[in-house]
Amino acid sequence: MLERRGVDPGLLRQTFSLFPSGVACIGAVVEGQSEALVASSFTVGVSLDPPLVSFAVQNTSTTWPLIRGADRIGVSVMASDHDAICRQIASKDRSRRFEGVETHVAESGALFLLGSPVWLECALYSEVPAGDHSLVLLEVDGLGLNPDLRPLVFHASAFTSVRDG
């Protein structure tokens, strides 16, 4: 059995921040209200059959419990020019999250950000407790893409974008 050692939380956060990750907006319209959260832990390719993606959400989130019950959930991979929108949607001020933000709501209630390189329409597949977070698996049942747009990347505690190499 692996022995647990003390890990400095600040050093752990800094270490984790050095792994670049995509940023996604997870959203739905619930009881007529647009709801969304931002996940920098979004992962694609969890499974191809069934098609699954994942993200981790803090147990203290007040938005995920609202979105969780939606029939369909929209995932918008955020574009390189979405950094201000990302901060706005992630803010605690729920009343201004979508102020000036262009969205599309599917008939299913899934909410998407316009100008995203990838859109995935999903249903909740499962949720697993994972320490101070929950790991959420979503099953993809619809998608769209714009390969000409660059994704927003979170790296070293800052937003950046993928560059041509």
Structural domains for the chain: 27-161 (2.30.110.10)
The reply to whether the predicted model has a pTM over 0.85 is: yes
- 165 residues of the chain, pLDDT tens digit each: 455 577 888 888 888 877 778 899 999 999 999 999 999 889 998 999 999 999 999 999 999 999 999 999 999 999 999 989 989 999 888 888 999 999 999 999 999 999 999 999 999 999 999 999 999 999 999 999 999 999 888 767 666 677 655
| Spatial CA neighbour of 112 closest among 37, 28, 53 | 28
Q: Which residues contact 67 (CB under 8 A, 6 or more apart)?
A: 26, 27, 28, 30, 35, 36, 37, 73
What DSSP letter does each residue of 7-72 carry, written as one string? --HHHHHHHHHTS-EE-EEEEEEETTEEEEEEETT-EEEEEETTEEEEEEEETT-SSHHHHHT-SS
